Amino acid sequence: CRFSQMLHPIFEEASNVIKEEYPDKNQVVFARVDCDQHSDIAQRYRISKYPTLKLFRNGMMMKREYRGQRSVTAIADYIRQQKSNPIREVQDLEEISSLDRSRRNIIGYFEQKDSDNYRTFERVANILHDDCVFLSAFGAISKAERFSGDNVIYKPPGENAPDMVYLGSLTNFDLIYAWTQDKCVPLVREITFENGEELTEEGLPFLILFHMKDDLESLEKFQQEVARQLIGEKGTINFLHADCDKFRHPLLHIQKTPADCPVIAIDSFRHMYVFPDFSDLSIPGKLKQFVLDLHSGKLHREFHHGPDPTDVAPGQPIQDLASSPPESSFQKLAPSEHRYTLLREKDEL
């Protein structure tokens, strides 16, 4: 791979720079994998393009891979940034009242910093700091919030949104990580040019609401119905929303334009299926059946052979992409030096 050969000496030099700054080998480890020789590792971490730079923390692969400039300076700066403390220490509880409530905030109140409780909190923050703002308070400053011991709370977006308290063990990493991830990562996420490839790499099909940027009513209705009908499908499909103006190309795959929005569709990475009518969204079970028909293969079957004889097709088959590789329409838009992209469309917008 020509690009891998080009990166190899840059990657090695960056590792030497970082080694000088962090001589303790447990602080930062640079490693490389030959995916021809170790295809099992490549498959485990869904490596499909080369070279790929992945970050691991505490043995866990971070969902955001490195996509910055391929230079010694840029890679070393990235590592320095990753080594910075993701938790802001609060010096006065008055600071809590002035938090940016458009963000998701996780606040830990601890008796002391040198404790297992705080170390676990720090591990979680290191992994999820891109999704939430993490803050902490210690000792006398935090005492008013520690009436029953060390405490972690979540302040959701919105000035009047009520706080949520973590009730599990503060030393159980798996429990507090799962709780925090649930709070920090929205059920319905926005897909953008910047995160399209990242979302594709999670390996799950997309259920997407295409809506105009200022059409918040449709988005709220979609979020409500996803939470009501599809919470049990979390982990089998990604729930997303996209700006119709920015993502005209995926709309063209289903013969739609921004004038048709709001539109709901599934991108299975092989085909795109259209939910029949946005106004049907509030019909009990309708959206869930659409997703179940994807999992059962019904949408795929009807895509190729038309509606079942006794059925009305829940997804409108538009275009056969079987001759294309299994790649999301959004992944094709993501910046990459290893594949043809449609960045010209982004530039025109």
- On the question of pLDDT at 333 being above 70, the answer is no
Question: What is the C-alpha separation between 122 and 127, in angstroms, rounded?
Answer: 9
What is residue 250's predicted lDDT score, i.e. its pLDDT?
Answer: 85
What is residue 309's predicted lDDT score, i.e. its pLDDT?
Answer: 67
Question: What is the C-alpha separation between 171 and 112, in angstroms, rounded?
Answer: 14
Strand partners, 210: 242, 263
- On the question of pLDDT at 33 being above 60, the answer is yes
Residue closest to 193 by CA, chosen among 328, 65, 333: 333
Q: Tell me, what CATH number does 36's domain have?
A: 3.40.30.10
Q: Are residues 139 and 194 in the same domain?
A: no
Residue 114 lies inside a defined structural domain of this protein: yes
- Listed in sequence order, the residues at least 6 apart from 263 whose beta carbon sits closer than 8 Å to its beta carbon are 209, 210, 244, 251, 254, 256, 274, 275, 278
- On the question of pLDDT at 318 being above 60, the answer is no
273 contacts 241 by C-beta, under 8 angstroms: no
Q: Across the chain, what does the average pLDDT equal? A: 85
> Measured between alpha carbons, how far is residue 312 from residues 230, 260, 302, 308 in Å?
22, 22, 10, 7
Q: Are residues 79 and 102 in the same domain?
A: no
Residue 101 lies inside a defined structural domain of this protein: yes
Share of the chain above pLDDT 70, in %: 88
Look up tokens 């910075």; give the residue. 84
Q: Are residues 236 and 267 in the same domain?
A: yes
Residue 347 lies inside a defined structural domain of this protein: no
Q: Are residues 174 and 198 in the same domain?
A: no
Please tell me what DSSP assigns to residue 261. Answer: -
Q: Are residues 173 and 201 in the same domain?
A: no
DSSP 210-244: EE-TT-HHHHHHHHHHHHHHSGGGBTTBEEEEEET
Q: Are residues 228 and 127 in the same domain?
A: no
Q: Mean of the pLDDT values across residues 119-127?
A: 93
Q: Are residues 124 and 170 in the same domain?
A: yes
Question: What is the C-alpha separation between 99 and 107, in angstroms, rounded?
Answer: 11
Higher-confidence position of 72 and 332: 72
| Other Cβ atoms within 10 Å of 323 Cβ, number | 5
E strand or H helix that includes residue 139: helix 139-142
166 contacts 303 by C-beta, under 8 angstroms: no
Residue closest to 259 by CA, chosen among 309, 210, 296, 225: 210
Q: Mean of the pLDDT values across residues 273-279?
A: 93
- Listed in sequence order, the residues at least 6 apart from 167 whose beta carbon sits closer than 8 Å to its beta carbon are none
- On the question of pLDDT at 341 being above 60, the answer is no
Question: What is the C-alpha separation between 276 and 344, in angstroms, rounded?
Answer: 31
Instruction: Estimate to the nearest angstrom the gap between the alpha carbon of 251 and the chain centroid.
Output: 22
What is residue 332's predicted lDDT score, i.e. its pLDDT?
Answer: 54
**Among candidate residues 157, 184, 211, the one where a domain is terminated:** 184
**Among candidate residues 52, 83, 114, the one where a domain is terminated:** 83
What is residue 263's predicted lDDT score, i.e. its pLDDT?
Answer: 95
Q: Are residues 160 and 116 in the same domain?
A: yes
Burial of 149 (0-12, 13-18, 19+ CB in 10 A): exposed
Domain with 162, as residue range(s), is 88-184
**Number of domain units in the chain:** 3
Residue 68 lies inside a defined structural domain of this protein: yes
Is the pTM above the cut of 0.85? no
Q: Mean of the pLDDT values across residues 159-168?
A: 91
For CA atoms 76, 80, 83, 87, the dihedral sign is: negative
Share of the chain above pLDDT 90, in %: 59
